[in-house]
Structure 1
């Protein structure tokens, strides 16, 4: 079994409680609430090594290349409106601009298909067969890279600032957070704000959350899992719908064949969510939340990005055309312990139902 390599920050998150009386594992149950979620983008300490060809160009640079400022002035219809139309109604193909992919052959993620091919990566720990084509797509777009990328900053900020992105895990039938061959994990959407320290920046364990049964009932999922050496792994389920808000615009992501790998203890959890992101959902979420104006701040050309998504998509072929409709990915996730107030009517087996969440709340 693969072992998670925990960083110093992870070790700080997973500090055990001071005494048995403070235990959060009660009657074989413990809850966790999401505090951080972002696409797994492997970065070394040298951008020129990760992206030796440089970073991909954004809307402003591409507009200047297509319509030079020292050339004839184009009409608004032929220039700005045409590009905006392509942005909201993209098609596969070539846009005439080079697209730079990350180099080095290393990525974080899962072996989703049980194969090791030339398209696959090795994990930082050396495990072969890692499927993360989304990293191949966004790894050399500056707006997606930390710590200063616009997507990196704002997508996590929304988790603390808004109640919309309130993903929770409820573990049941847990004999031990160190080793247990069979546990049940239920995914809920919560209703309440996160409990923070006096600064308002650090989310602390021990808060409570109600379960959203109005907008979030269709999002409930149940997974079979096990815990080995403090690491929870789960069997894949058909899909997970993740409420996803950025810049105050409600949206969602759909992760197919979703599975978890999380290092656990009584104060928190940290690890990865893996699977295949639905390409159209992924792209529409980005556009609904950001638009060309905001994407320009991160040099993110939506047109070029969509075409690369279609080139690198590697999952769930369309039954008629054979075109791949999803793309392998992983998300880095952090949780803190929370007490989940789940009414009896939430106890339903919902391993899949395929419904999308409402975007009203």
Structure 2
């Protein structure tokens, strides 16, 4: 820890109890918020990678025997090159890259989520039969069409804390080069209830890892730039250990092939303060450009389809289920409701000039620790627990 961080941290900690205080965090985990139960996919889940490849080969005119030979021995076994599956699209009868031109193949109509439970937020203020119920809070009217689109893909048919494999791998690669995402929380008594201001910031360098390749707590991060005051700043409240905010716009630069930008309109969040180490855990959601999520899957192309992620199928499902921001000309929705899980570690936040503006968040009081973990037993619509 730097001397300036240590001195500033001690100074801030010694302020009177009623003085405004600011806690800092660095985001260490981020992925689509997933939930699966027996009702999620009554038609079954979408095929795994090999079966998806076989289906795509048959659509190109290969016989079942030829397709099986390719899958067992590789495309060279039938005189084809390794671009056979990426180039399965057709425009004017000519092969094109299907990940660049997903509409060059017919909609495969992947199986989409049919269940009634998903993490997220009521973004439009309405409660309809098409909405979900949140498994943690029991709230109705949850808008999360992104998860409806992908929730029956093999790697998304899981429950937290397990994360989608592709997203977890890509995040693990990206955070060693992308500027860290930072969070500051300011209020008069952050260990109690009351109003707060939450800000999302970009660091000048990537997150620092610990010996186990996790995110190291207590590191000092320099804030890259002051954000536009119209975005990334939220007025909220802590109530019984839960932090929530009023809707606003959130935009943070990312890193390909994970989201190149986290862009959430009408964003909301729900965080809990963790008892061990004082980290944050919770969810952030809003309306995001659905093409951003598609690009994350298209970027790795065939390698991603090995996990059973039908990339053109994801494109068509997102386009069909998008529920916000209609294009003024075509009327097609350009954004889709979404929710992501997020975990963050306590950190010092400082300006480029070395002024510490946030100190690591503190763990909640021990007497409240048991209520400050994510609920693993979802509440049903009738109010009972599983």
- TM-score tier (shorter): 0.7 to 0.9
In structure 2, what is the equivalent of residue 168 of structure 1?
182
- Counterpart CA distance in 1 for 2:197 and 2:24 is 12
Of 302, 306, 318 in structure 1, the residue corresponding to residue 315 of structure 2 is 306
1:275 Cα deviation (Å)?
0.2
Contact 1:164 1:250 (8 Å CA) reproduced: no
Q: Rate the CA distance shift 1:152–1:251 in 2: closer, same or farther, 3 A.
A: closer
In structure 2, what is the equivalent of residue 51 of structure 1?
41
In structure 2, what is the equivalent of residue 256 of structure 1?
265
Q: Rate the CA distance shift 1:273–1:91 in 2: closer, same or farther, 3 A.
A: same
In structure 2, what is the equivalent of residue 185 of structure 1?
198
Structure 1 runs (4+) greater than 3 angstroms displaced: 20-27, 71-80, 143-150, 192-197, 216-220, 343-346
Q: Is the counterpart of residue 70 in structure 1 residue 84 in structure 2?
A: no
Q: Rate the CA distance shift 1:113–1:35 in 2: closer, same or farther, 3 A.
A: same
Of 11, 16, 31 in structure 2, the residue corresponding to residue 38 of structure 1 is 31
- Counterpart CA distance in 2 for 1:279 and 1:178 is 38
Contact 2:178 2:205 (8 Å CA) reproduced: no
1:56-83 Cα shifts (integer Å, max 9, x gaps): 2455143133035427989889975242
1:113 Cα deviation (Å)?
0.6
- Counterpart CA distance in 1 for 2:264 and 2:332 is 18
- Counterpart CA distance in 1 for 2:125 and 2:163 is 35
Q: Secondary structure at the match of 1:304?
A: helix
Contact 1:105 1:121 (8 Å CA) reproduced: yes
More displaced stretch, 293-302 vs 69-78? 69-78
Q: Secondary structure at the match of 2:115?
A: coil
Contact 2:112 2:152 (8 Å CA) reproduced: yes
In structure 2, what is the equivalent of residue 81 of structure 1?
87
- Counterpart CA distance in 2 for 1:180 and 1:153 is 34
Contact 1:191 1:209 (8 Å CA) reproduced: yes
Q: Is the counterpart of residue 203 in structure 1 residue 215 in structure 2?
A: yes
**Count of aligned pairs between the two proteins:** 315
**For 1:120-135, what aligned pairs fall within 5 Å after superposition?**
120-124=131-135, 125-135=137-147
1:148-203 Cα shifts (integer Å, max 9, x gaps): 843243134236x514051111122342332112x222211113444444x33333
Contact 1:32 1:268 (8 Å CA) reproduced: yes
1:344 Cα deviation (Å)?
7.3
Q: Rate the CA distance shift 1:337–1:191 in 2: closer, same or farther, 3 A.
A: same
Q: Is the counterpart of residue 154 in structure 1 residue 169 in structure 2?
A: yes
1:23 Cα deviation (Å)?
9.0
1:338 Cα deviation (Å)?
0.4
In structure 1, what is the equivalent of residue 247 of structure 2?
236
Q: Secondary structure at the match of 2:29?
A: strand
1:307-359 Cα shifts (integer Å, max 9, x gaps): 1101100011112222111110111111111000124799xxxxxxxxxxxxx
Q: Is the counterpart of residue 100 in structure 1 residue 111 in structure 2?
A: yes
1:228 Cα deviation (Å)?
1.2
- Counterpart CA distance in 1 for 2:224 and 2:108 is 45
Q: Rate the CA distance shift 1:196–1:78 in 2: closer, same or farther, 3 A.
A: closer
Q: Secondary structure at the match of 2:166?
A: helix
More displaced stretch, 163-172 vs 188-197? 188-197
Contact 1:315 1:328 (8 Å CA) reproduced: yes
Q: Secondary structure at the match of 1:170?
A: strand
Whose radius of gyration is greater, 1 or 2? Answer: 2
1:188-234 Cα shifts (integer Å, max 9, x gaps): 1113444444x333334322111123xx8569722212211121111
Q: TM-score, normalised by structure 2?
A: 0.71
Contact 1:38 1:332 (8 Å CA) reproduced: yes
1:222-257 Cα shifts (integer Å, max 9, x gaps): 2212211121111212342341444xx782232111
Contact 2:31 2:168 (8 Å CA) reproduced: no
Q: Rate the CA distance shift 1:270–1:174 in 2: closer, same or farther, 3 A.
A: farther
- Counterpart CA distance in 2 for 1:135 and 1:267 is 29
Q: Rate the CA distance shift 1:62–1:242 in 2: closer, same or farther, 3 A.
A: farther
Q: TM-score, normalised by structure 1?
A: 0.75
Of 136, 139, 146 in structure 1, the residue corresponding to residue 151 of structure 2 is 139
